[in-house]
Chain A
Amino acid sequence: MATSPDATSLRRLNWLYVLLGVLILAVATRLAYLQVIQYGHYQALATDEHQRKYEVPANRGQIYLLDGSTQVPLALDETLGLLYADPSLVKDKPSTAAKLASATGGSASTYLQDLNQGGEYVVLGGRIDTATATRIQALNLYGVGLKNQDYRTYPEGSLASQVLGFVNNAGDGQYGVEGYLNTILKGTPGLLNAKTDTNGVPIATADNIDKPSVPGDDVVLTLDRNIQAEAEADIKSGVQSAKAASGSILVIDPNTGAVKAMANYPTYDPNNYNQVTNYQTFENPIVDDAFEPGSGFKLITMSTGLDQGKVTPTTTYTDTGCVTITGTKICNDEQVAGTPNNDGPNTTMTEVLRDSLNTGVIFVLESLGGVPGNITLAGKQLLYSYITQHFDFGKLTGIEQTGEAAGSVNPPTSNDVNYANMAFGQGIDVTMLQMADAISAIANGGTLYKPYLVAATINPDGTQVNTQPKVLARHVVSKQTSADMAAMGQVVVQHGTGYKAYTPGYAIAGKTGTAQIPNPNGPGYLQGVNIGSFIGYAPATSPKFLVMVRINEPTNGVDAEDTTVPVFASLVRWLFQYYAIPPTSSPSN
């Protein structure tokens, strides 16, 4: 039976329906796969296309120092331009270099050299200010771009650079206060998760996630700008006139522990820290270089003897110039060539400090043990307890500086020769800061303060939190010991090794120290080099400031009295005027 045309058409139409149905089903299945099963994947791809995450950098806290009571900026943040280029896109390199040089005032040959390096990214310059950036943008140079970058700027230049430290290209503080307080200065970066246009520029929309950055705290240092500048000028002059390797000055308030100046020479400009070739220049030797203090340490041994009542300023002994300890002969330094190195019989403890007699402080050490002529374990234990427990030598002070050294103190189990040497400051390592802090306690009547550099922190909301002086220990020596040491220290300045600091009308107490330098390559000490120091305070009976000067490896003057004392005197006389301290007696005294 033949099929009718209508039936054939109907059958074909049905097949077409089936085919269309299958196609629709296939498309629907594919759509369901893409939009339901693969939803997350494609959603993420789409988000990546038009949404980006940006870290919003936090403003770094500023650092101030004091000028009297006024806060002066020492470290500021500045947003400047970074000039870069894609050399592969720059067609006419000589012309581009010349145009850039005309806009920036830089060198066309340097720019051309950078552009000829090849590659796709080269930095042509940093710290581009707004005016220069505008001139560069007006040139409309193809392949050359500018982007904002935060730079740390130090408007005072090299002032207090080793105390400050610097911020590296990664935005991290290095050395000094910048390094030690990096966490609180740096702040917390924010986050911007934003929709962007086709050029990747963020568009402000309601659903952008915006976590604001939290700026770092500002920090106010205890340093006084004028004292710091004067101390830096004095130490530079002192080092140069002594033809020495380096030097340092520390000025501290003995009544609070607040550091007023930390000056070092040589120094550097933190704005150009990358030009420094000797990385040791970054360090602050006042806190991180432990050294043998030499005779300045006699102040510690003598105050221990006085405080324990084992000696008085008028106690006498016979100075023979040398003593023999378990077979080792230890002598005084010869003060003047060709003269006897001893004061003979009836030498007082005041004369021990005045003439810096090693035998005298060994006598004090022997007296501490209660057995004249012998160093005992009890005597060593007593001295050790004063050194480490009363004056905190051998421990970190916790000053706001990176790399602080704790120094080292021989335990009482060390041999007698070690302890005899330690009594006059050899065989013990201390930092200038530890010495200044310990002598401050003797000067102020017996209170040991924690030395500090941060006077206040200022929170982002403007709240200022002032640092209160922290007492570490009271009565580390008695008031009487403090008064005796002040009187003995004045004799040193008036008639002893510190005579060059004598200033008529002013009571200055102090002590010189000339220490040998241990041989780094073996036993013993280096010949012909030393570390000179002078530590003193004024006015002696109610001190306003304490100054310690250290000059390393002088070649022009042998002893501290020729190198450090003149520097000390210059600064202290300036400080009398700066603090407006009137003389207490006639200038003819």
Chain B
Amino acid sequence: MTTATLAMRRNQNLNRSKAELKLGPISSGFVIIAIIAVLALLYLNAITKTSVFGYELTQLQNQQSQVVSANQELQVEAARLTSIQAIQSSKAVQGLVPTTQVTYAK
């Protein structure tokens, strides 16, 4: 559709007015302060989240440490139960009799 065609239409305003947003110095100051406040909130939020994650990480590390300790205790207990003193004092071993005559297969 050409301009000439449009001009032929009745009661049609061909001029468009632009909407202008004008901020005075006080408004600008408020906007800047608002932006800074939002950014500060975002920063605080991020920092808080990091700290929370830090605590969670510390707790997990503590749990890991406890599990490692428990594992160590079990390893030590297993080693104690299979120690030569434990074996020698076990009922099964005490029931054994020493060999008196050994015959070797040729």
Residues on A facing B (Cβ under 8 Å): 72-73, 76-80, 129-130, 148, 153, 155-157, 159, 197, 201-206, 225-226, 229, 577, 580, 582-583
Contact = CB atoms under 8 A, between A and B. Distances in A.
B90 interface: no
Interface in B57-104: 57-58, 61, 65-66, 68-70, 72-73, 75-76, 79-80, 82-85, 88, 99, 102, 104
A159 B85 CA distance: 9
Nearest to B53: A204
B79 A76 contact: yes
A205 B72 contact: no
Contacts of A148: 65, 69
B45 interface: no
A79 B68 contact: yes
B72 A582 contact: no
A203 B54 contact: yes
Contacts of A79: 65, 68-69, 72
A229 B88 contact: yes
B50 interface: yes
B85 A157 contact: yes
A284 to B, nearest CB: 19
B-side binding surface: helix, strand, loop or mixed?
Answer: helix
Contacts of B75: 73, 76
B73 to A, nearest CB: 6
Contacts of A229: 84, 88
Given A76-B76, A130-B73, A159 B84 contact: yes
Nearest to B51: A203
A191 B65 CA distance: 17
B69 A80 contact: yes
B72 A155 contact: no
B55 interface: yes
A72 to B, nearest CB: 8
B83 A203 contact: no
A202 B54 CA distance: 8
A93 B51 CA distance: 39
A77 B51 contact: no
B35 to A, nearest CB: 25
24 contacts: A72-B82, A76-B72, A76-B79, A78-B76, A79-B65, A79-B72, A80-B69, A80-B73, A130-B73, A148-B69, A155-B76, A155-B79, A156-B85, A157-B83, A197-B55, A202-B58, A203-B51, A203-B54, A204-B53, A204-B58, A205-B50, A229-B84, A577-B99, A583-B104
A155 B83 CA distance: 7
B73 A129 contact: yes
A492 B69 CA distance: 57
Nearest to B50: A205
Given A148-B65, A156-B83, A229-B84, A204 B57 contact: yes
A65 to B, nearest CB: 10
Query: Which of B61, B68, B72 gathers most chain A CB within 10 Å?
Result: B72
Query: Which of B80, B84, B85, B99 gathers most chain A CB within 10 Å?
Result: B84
B54 A130 contact: no
A153 B80 CA distance: 10
B58 A582 contact: no
A197 B50 CA distance: 13
B53 to A, nearest CB: 7
Nearest to A75: B79
B73 A204 contact: no
A255 B37 CA distance: 82
A204 B54 contact: yes
A156 B102 CA distance: 30
A29 to B, nearest CB: 27
Nearest to B106: A582
A577 B104 CA distance: 10
A360 B17 CA distance: 133
B99 A130 contact: no
> Which 7 A-B residue pairings sit nearest by Cβ, starting from the closest?
A155-B79, A582-B104, A203-B54, A204-B57, A204-B54, A79-B69, A73-B79
B69 A130 contact: yes
A468 B15 CA distance: 99
A268 to B, nearest CB: 14
Given A203-B51, A582-B104, A130 B70 contact: yes
A203 B85 contact: no
Contacts of B58: 201-204
B19 to A, nearest CB: 43
A580 B54 contact: no
B86 to A, nearest CB: 9
A515 to B, nearest CB: 33
A39 B85 CA distance: 65
Contacts of B70: 130
A78 B65 contact: no
Contacts of A157: 83, 85
Nearest to A79: B69
Contacts of A197: 55
Contacts of B104: 580, 582-583
Given A73-B79, A155-B80, A157-B83, A78 B55 contact: no
A225 B53 CA distance: 49
